[in-house]
Amino acid sequence: MIGTLVIATVVLLYIFVQRRFRFFEKNGIPFEPGYFPFGSLIYWKMITGQVALFSITKSIYEKHPNAKAVGYYGILGKPHLVICDLDLAKKVMVRDFDHFVDRPFADGIHPDANKYFCKMLTVLKGDEWKAIRNLVSPIFTSGKIKATVPVINQVASELADYIDQRVIGETSTDNKDIFQKYSIEVLGRLGCGVEPKILTDNNPDKNVFYQKALELSGGGKPNLVTVFKFIVTLIFPTIAYYSKMSAFEPEPINFMGALISNAIKDRQATKVKKSDLIDFLKDAIKEFEQSNPNGMSEGEITELIIANGLLLFFAGTDTSSSALSIVMHFMAKNPDLQEKLYREIKDAIEENNGNANLDYTTLNGLKFMGSVIKESLRFWGFNFLDRTCTKDYHMPELNATIPKGMQVTVAGASIMQDEKFFPDTQTFDPEAHFEDESLYPASFMAFGQGPRNCIGMRFAYMVVRACLVHTLANYKVEPCPKTITDWEIDPLHPSALPKGGLYVKYTRRE
């Protein structure tokens, strides 16, 4: 009896999945065929660690060079649509954004098991997302970011001393390691209201804050339990939601949450303001409450501040340190470009009376540095531009209607590496790719596009720019025996960096 029931269930499931496999063919959209029960072959390769998650879109983009959009199937035939055309991408992310407001990862997040995570801006949906986005946006205005620059400069100076004391003389240095320490220190001070003192610690790798931040951001060695939860939340969101699965290990979240909570209480008691993101968010909430009489309770305010302080570590520390690692890799490989960037930095410091602590306006005005950063992000080609269709959307270009609930992914990384938009795309060339004003700016998608782009983009640029000033003003970056020659993303690397890592050698400038 049980055996018959199992067979009947499998047969019915097979029929259901086979019907789902007909969606793209029925709608005349190019697609990768699906196979019961795991979906398209490229999706199976992602599950088994053969390709990185974001490489799915790259593989599809390259296999269908003339398609405006391509479909593929996930577990049990769930259809996914990859947008390969730039004009369609602008429609999804900007022009018709009201049809694609939500992000799919939020589907597996149950609030009972993810107290802070479910309140993060990146996870919120619909009207709730719009309300919190409007509330949070003022903390990333140019005026607010200007106020954080002195702290960023102080940490960048500490990094320069760290390199002098601990890195100089080494034949090879892991860029990711040193810039991870820097970015976590910056965000510890500005996002958690504490001074971790990682770069001045006698044993920085054992610094408790540093270890917990690594666990939280995914920048350390991947925890198998965390990896399993992430996969279940991503692939089986319904199971993750109704089983009330926590998306991440609670210990580092509770540790960081307690630090932020204590910082809030301390400021309430002492009335001291530090001009950091905690203060900015509290001020933004007060302004919000003035126009919303019902407001929020003290507990809700605290939870919102903690949630978005934690978000800085998810969204900020790993990506900033990876971006810096990639910049330094290409500076080592291109000494002529490094020299040009050094001269720009040196001129700015001389105009600042020899002081490397440049202000917001000067940092923002380093034009060639901006091109180098953008080109590094373009070459890296790493982003997640996933959206959920929130109401049926007809695409005349495809002569098809995208149904509510379908996951849509913009192939932003592939667009940034397409010869149509960036000539000689596999050459690191910041001058050619970002100095020409005729280039179509929408083709640069490192921070997304439209209302749901990266809200902290300008802050992230400041963190990276100040670090480059203090580091390259004092040290040269050179290739070392471990410097890679081929750029191939490691599908198992938690930060989606290339195989072999990003190693260089640092020497003092004369």
- Residues forming the annotated binding site for heme? 454
- What distance in Å separates the CA atoms of residue 395 and residue 155, rounded to the nearest whole number? 49
- DSSP 8-state symbol, 400: E
- Residue 30: asked if its preceding bond is cis (omega within 30°), the reply is no
Q: Which two tokens stand for residue 52?
A: 């990185």
- What distance in Å separates the CA atoms of residue 273 and residue 268, rounded to the nearest whole number? 9
> Could you tell me if 114 and 247 are in contact, meaning their C-beta atoms sit under 8 angstroms apart?
yes
CA distances from 289 to 135, 147, 190, 292 (A): 10, 24, 24, 5
Sign of CA dihedral 411, 417, 422, 428: positive
Per DSSP, the three-state class of 489 is strand
> Could you tell me if 157 and 356 are in contact, meaning their C-beta atoms sit under 8 angstroms apart?
yes
- What distance in Å separates the CA atoms of residue 215 and residue 248, rounded to the nearest whole number? 9
Q: Which two tokens stand for residue 421?
A: 């938009």
Annotated binding-site residues read 454
What string of H, E and C letters represents the secondary structure of 230-296? HHHHHHCHHHHHHCCCCCCCHHHHHHHHHHHHHHHHHHHHHCCCCCCHHHHHHHHHHHHHHHCCCCC
